[in-house]
Amino acid sequence: MRVPIQELRVGCILSEDVFSLTNRPIICRKTVITKELLDIMKIFLIDEAEVETTMITGKPMSSSENMEEAEAEMEPSYIDTFLKGVQEFKREFVSWQSGLPVDIAKIRNIMIPLIEEMEKNLTGIFSLHHLSTNEDYLYQHSVAVGMISAFIGKKLNLNKGEVVQLALGGCLADAGMAKINPAILHKSTSLNSEEFEEVKKHSILSFKMVQNISLLRESTKIGIIQHHERLDGSGYPFGEQSSKINHAGRIIAAADAFHAMTSQRLYRRKQSPFKVLEMMMQDSFGKFDIPSIQALGSGIMTFSIGSLVKLSDGQTAEILFIEDKSPTRPLVKLKDTGDIIHLEKNRQLFIDEVLL
């Protein structure tokens, strides 16, 4: 929906790039508007912008000129469903902090619509990193890990029941964070070694919170406690290796790392999902489950030939050919010059985002 600049608010999500007098956008689509970005738009004399109908808070966004248009939206979008799910999960998390038990029915009600949306839009998980904010990262991360775990399960041809279990397990993997000192959870600087050791207890705490829930399979519960284990034994809480890490644990671990590495954090800028997938394939080889990483990679393959992408240097390109062995580095043609570039041979460039 198009909104006048004077009615834009902090927390709006751009649905289209914002241009001034340049060929390249001054602010890219899917960016969450901050006070600083609003000021920049005013400096560049931007009159209006296209935004999503739902704000990052999960609340509806509507301007006086577009109220009817907003009400005409008959079906919630993938983003709408995710943001509303995050706010519902946040309410559950706060209840856990106050001592209430996990209500698995409510978590299921959050995740089932998201699984259904994911089945309609299998490439949606590659846009979730745009929706991470420092304030609500913990809740966004939990819901996203549930979605990505389900995506991996679906790509691995698991049955619907197993996919749902992965969604629930991924979503609840960090439930134990509700039992960690809030001062540590919301600390704006890097954790010291003592604080980090405290945070590492969350896997066990999560397991304790779900161990008596009959609707969760034992394999899912084990996956929750193992989601920070690594195949080479470098993970926690027990330093388990390879065959001792179950299937759910391997999948949730890959989903957890993938979303964490792509998300905006206080101490790190968000990174392209394509770059992160490449890092998991190469730099972290031996730590993560290869079939799970390949499943994420197969998601990139669903971006068909002809898709428009933005490269890491800001240029727009069209995908010409994708190779199975290197899905993150296809052959592309630059829109401005028509030059053809093989990203496999130009390692300094990578895909930052798929546009269309």
| Domains of the chain by start residue, with CATH | 1-74 (3.90.105.10), 78-300 (1.10.3210.10), 303-354 (2.30.30)
DSSP single-letter state for residue 239: -
pLDDT of residue 324: 75
Low-confidence ranges of the chain (pLDDT < 70): 22, 62-76, 265-269, 283, 301-304, 356
pLDDT of residue 74: 35
Residue with tokens 């969604």: 167
pLDDT of residue 268: 61
Q: Please state, in angstroms and rounded to a whole number, the distance separating the CA atoms of residues 298 and 328.
A: 10
pLDDT of residue 68: 41
Q: Please state, in angstroms and rounded to a whole number, the distance separating the CA atoms of residues 168 and 107.
A: 7
Mean pLDDT of the chain: 88
pLDDT of residue 173: 98
Q: Please state, in angstroms and rounded to a whole number, the distance separating the CA atoms of residues 103 and 78.
A: 24
Q: Are 232 and 287 in contact (CB under 8 A)?
A: yes
Q: Which of 142, 141, 158, 139 is nearest to 150 (CA)?
A: 158
pLDDT of residue 107: 98
Q: Are 52 and 12 in contact (CB under 8 A)?
A: yes
pTM of the model: 0.82
